[in-house]
């Protein structure tokens, strides 16, 4: 493997909040173009992990390299530049309720790429809306959108900056199964169209299976197991099995 093909490299990452140890020795390497699903029960530190990757939280120790930069060692200005390459799709779609779809999409663009013409801004909005299949919603308000549509617009809002990395935090949570399937397809399509490398945090087994090349199972602050969905799904490891059995029962 060419070293340049490693987009995210994490070694012995630890993070505690007070006496609560959340991440306790995370090791992972993610190659260019890979989609990795991170599975783990609620409170296991999945969101903390991607917040550290995107520089929103600082690690206590260990190294976290993203696109060749150590996120906690670089200057604020450099971090800001790096963060433009990372699309963070939040669990709540985090749209501005008082802004139309168009304004929501325009906001990150105008704030981050200041010298675009009106025409370029409009073209970028139209393109990204078409990519997520929601051209017709351009003048709607978030309150008029369905849960699935809001997720799509949330994703579009990060895609408009053409990120190299996508971090999806529970992209299908709160969605019905049919809408979830559509979001899974979108995640796969985004990789094709935008050449992204992605981490998909989920406890939706269908989502992990459909979107990821590899799954990593987070337990007690470490990756207990990494492998293809089938490898991890067919393991004899009791702790992994317990997670799967529990999520199976709840998916029914
Ligand atoms: N900023 C913070 N300050 C204190 N505790 C936090 C903070 N962020 C997360 N935690 C705690 O860390 C643990 C892991 O949180 P999180 O990563 O959000 O879990 P999840 O796997 O459900 O995404 C939880 O116990 C949470 O309460
Ligand atoms: Mg979370």
* Mean pLDDT of successive 10-residue stretches along the chain, which has 252 residues: 80 98 97 96 94 96 97 95 93 88 94 88 96 97 95 95 96 93 96 97 93 95 92 85 72 50
Cα angle for residues 56, 163, 157 (degrees, 5° grid): 80
Quick one: tokens of 159? 């895609």
Q: In this predicted structure, what is the pLDDT of residue 245? A: 75
Residue to substitute in 18, 42, 47, 60 for testing ligand 1 pocket (most ligand atoms within 8 angstroms of CB):
47
Give me the residues near ligand 2 (ion), CB cutoff below 5 Å: 47
Q: In this predicted structure, what is the pLDDT of residue 3? A: 55
**C-beta of 19 in contact with ligand 1 (< 6 A):** no
H or E segment and range at residue 165: strand 165-169
Nearest CA to ligand 1 atom 18: 47
H or E segment and range at residue 87: strand 86-89
**C-beta of 220 in contact with ligand 1 (< 6 A):** no
Q: In this predicted structure, what is the pLDDT of residue 115? A: 86
Q: How far apart are CA 134 and CA 176, in angstroms?
A: 19
- Tell how far the Cα of 119 is from the centroid of ligand 2, in angstroms: 38
Q: In this predicted structure, what is the pLDDT of residue 208? A: 95
- Tell how far the Cα of 139 is from the centroid of ligand 1, in angstroms: 36
Give the strand pairing for 165-169 and 86-89.
parallel
Quick one: tokens of 209? 């299976």
What's the gap between Cα 76 and its chain centre?
Answer: 22
Q: In this predicted structure, what is the pLDDT of residue 19? A: 96
Q: In this predicted structure, what is the pLDDT of residue 92? A: 78
- Tell how far the Cα of 45 is from the centroid of ligand 1, in angstroms: 6
Quick one: tokens of 235? 């393991």
pTM (whole model) above 0.75? yes
Q: In this predicted structure, what is the pLDDT of residue 94? A: 84
Question: Could you tell me if 52 and 59 are in contact, meaning their C-beta atoms sit under 8 angstroms apart?
Answer: yes
Three-state SS letters, the chain: CCHHHEEEEEEEEEEEECCEEEEEEEEEEEECCCEEEEECCCCCCHHHHHHHHCCCCCCCEEEEEECCEECCCCCHHHHHHHHCCEEEECCCCCCCCCCCHHHHHHHHHHHHCCCCCHHHHHHHHHHHHHHCCCHHHCCCCHHHCCHHHHHHHHHHHHHCCCCCEEEEECCCCCCCHHHHHHHHHHHHHHHHHHCCEEEEEECCHHHHHHHCCEEEEEECCEEEEEECHHHHHCCCCHHHHHHHHHHHHHHC
**C-beta of 148 in contact with ligand 1 (< 6 A):** no
Nearest CA to ligand 1 atom 20: 43
**C-beta of 17 in contact with ligand 1 (< 6 A):** yes
- Tell how far the Cα of 221 is from the centroid of ligand 1, in angstroms: 11
Q: In this predicted structure, what is the pLDDT of residue 250? A: 61
**C-beta of 154 in contact with ligand 1 (< 6 A):** no
Give the strand pairing for 20-31 and 165-169.
unpaired
Nearest CA to ligand 1 atom 14: 45
């Amino acid at each position: 493997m060419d070293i340049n093909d490693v987009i995210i490299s994490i070694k012995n990452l630890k993070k505690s909040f007070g006496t609560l140890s959340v991440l306790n020795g995370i090791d992972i390497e993610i190659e260019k173009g890979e989609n990795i699903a991170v599975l783990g029960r609620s409170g296991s530190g999945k969101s903390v992990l991607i917040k550290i990757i995107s520089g929103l939280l600082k690690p206590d120790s260990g190294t976290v390299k993203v696109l060749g930069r150590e996120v906690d060692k670089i200057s604020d200005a450099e971090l800001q530049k790096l963060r433009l390459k990372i699309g963070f799709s939040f669990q709540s779609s985090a749209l501005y309720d008082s802004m139309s779809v168009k304004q929501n999409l325009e906001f990150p663009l105008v704030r981050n790429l200041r010298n675009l013409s009106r025409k370029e801004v409009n073209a970028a909005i139209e393109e990204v809306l078409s990519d997520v299949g929601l051209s017709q919603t351009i003048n709607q308000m978030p309150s008029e959108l369905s849960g699935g549509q809001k997720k799509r617009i949330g994703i579009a809002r990060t895609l408009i900056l053409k990120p190299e990395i996508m971090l999806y935090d529970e992209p299908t949570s709160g969605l019905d199964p049919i809408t979830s399937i559509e979001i899974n397809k979108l995640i796969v399509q985004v990789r094709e169209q935008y050449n992204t490398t992605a981490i998909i945090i989920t406890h939706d087994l269908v989502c992990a299976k459909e979107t990821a090349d590899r799954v990593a199972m987070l337990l007690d602050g470490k990756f207990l197991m990494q492998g293809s969905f089938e490898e991890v799904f067919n393991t004899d490891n009791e702790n992994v099995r317990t997670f799967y059995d529990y999520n199976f029962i709840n998916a029914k």
